[in-house]
Amino acid sequence: MPKQEEIKCYRNPIPTTDIIIEYYNRGIVLITRRNPPLGLAIPGGFSEYGLSLEENAIKEAKEETGLDVVIENPEKPFCVHSNPDRDPRGHMISITYIAKGYGNLKAGDDAKTAKVYSLDEIVEFVKQKSLVFDHSSILEKYLKHRGFP
């Protein structure tokens, strides 16, 4: 085993998982963040050691929205965003999934509120770029993926 002084430390990006939750064909679930940076966001959070990215996304969805989710394509994330400036807290990599949400929507953990927004409302948020991080860009990709103008 190498001595402590022989182990190199690296400064690496931090992985996060985000999850676009479609709720009973009524719209998309967004949360209002309890912690800075404040604002509307897709549910998600830092990846935890010992969990796969898919497991982490499911855990974050449950913690922040109270919903059980089924990920659309767990083997292939919907998108990955890695711009070093996407998060004011540091270099974060977002691995985003799409899922169907079931159960009673209730904010928890890092979410101050959790609410379902219609696709028309999501379009307006995207146009105004009014979500935190780069979540407006993620939702813009989602709308195109779903064939929404």
Q: How many domains does the chain have?
A: 1
Give the DSSP H or E segment for 113: strand 111-117
Q: The pTM is what?
A: 0.92
Q: What CATH number does the domain containing 78 carry?
A: 3.90.79.10
pLDDT digits (tens, 9 = 90+) for 13-29: 999 999 999 999 899 99
Q: Give the range of the structural domain holding residue 94, as residue numbers without chain letter.
A: 27-145
Q: Is residue 104 part of a domain?
A: yes
Residues 107 and 113 sit within 8 Å (Cβ to Cβ): yes
Q: Is residue 141 part of a domain?
A: yes
Vertex 85, ends 79 and 90: CA angle to 5°?
100
Question: Does residue 83 fall inside a structural domain?
Answer: yes
In-domain check, residue 68:
yes
Helix (H) or strand (E) holding 127: helix 119-128
Read off the pLDDT of residues 55-106 as tens digits, 9 standing for 90 and up: 999 999 999 999 999 999 999 999 999 999 999 999 999 999 999 999 999 9
Cα distance between residue 68 and residue 102, in whole Å: 5
Distance (Å, rounded) from C-alpha 94 to C-alpha 135? 10
* Domain assignment present for 19: no
Q: Amino acid letter at 63? A: E
